[in-house]
Amino acid sequence: MIRIAICDDSSAFLQQTKFMITHWDAPAARSIALELFEDGDSLLSAHAQAPFDIILLDIVMPLLNGIEAARELREKDKTVKIVFLTSSTEYAVESYTVKASNYLLKPVNPDSLFACLDELISQMHGAAKSIVVKGIEATHRILLSDIEHVEAQLKHVVFFLKGNRTVESVEPFYTYENTLELDDGFFKCHRSYIVNIHHIGSYSHAEIFMQSGRHIPLSRSCQKSFEASYFRVIFGKAGDDL
């Protein structure tokens, strides 16, 4: 499912752009969910609950303009694709500060929009993997490579990320046991911990020492399978083969 949002204060432009995207998608029959917003605040609220993959965003809007909305989006989501659709060229340079993928002038040429969307879809297929985490106040998209380890704490789950950042999830621990797989470098080393093997500095028979300096317990029952998994991820083969 590819989630696309269009945000513009003109209802006529929203419908026109929706029609163009529907026409673009028809031959390929992609699985697309399309949502329309007439102001930046509504867009931000919806994205916090269920992140979009692509956002087509007007710049000149009352109250919260497109550049301001994009800055707020980027504070919590580094991967969403943002495309500005605007009648003015004066914000082109500023659009780079929020890592916009493109800047299309109105009236939007359908061929230009279609080429832009094709490129974004191509990028997404080759992009770094991420996970959507439902937090206490917002939903976050987190790159798998940023996750150091995941820890169950009472009824919540805490994601420990690179840069000493944390994200707290309201979803149960088993949700992530089924999502964070060994093929992506993750191993459940204890009933309450999942580690990213790529972030391990060293380990002993009872503890895993992360590159950040954190110590993670290693269950006795997991010791043999952990070592085999570690060598598989780091060296591409099982520990017994070395």
pLDDT one-digit tens code per residue, 126-184: 656 888 898 887 888 888 989 999 999 988 999 999 888 999 999 999 999 989 999 89
What's the one-letter identity of residue 147?
Answer: I
104-117 pLDDT, tens digit per residue, is 999 999 999 999 99
Please tell me the distance from the alpha carbon of residue 97 to that of residue 154, in angstroms, as a whole number. 40
Please tell me the distance from the alpha carbon of residue 58 to that of residue 13, in angstroms, as a whole number. 10
Please tell me the distance from the alpha carbon of residue 88 to that of residue 38, in angstroms, as a whole number. 18
- Average confidence score pLDDT of the chain: 89
The pair of three-digit structure tokens given for residue 65, joined into one six-digit string: 């303009």
pLDDT above 90 as % of the chain? 64
pLDDT of residue 237: 54
pLDDT of residue 239: 47
pLDDT at 230 over 80: yes
pTM over 0.85: no
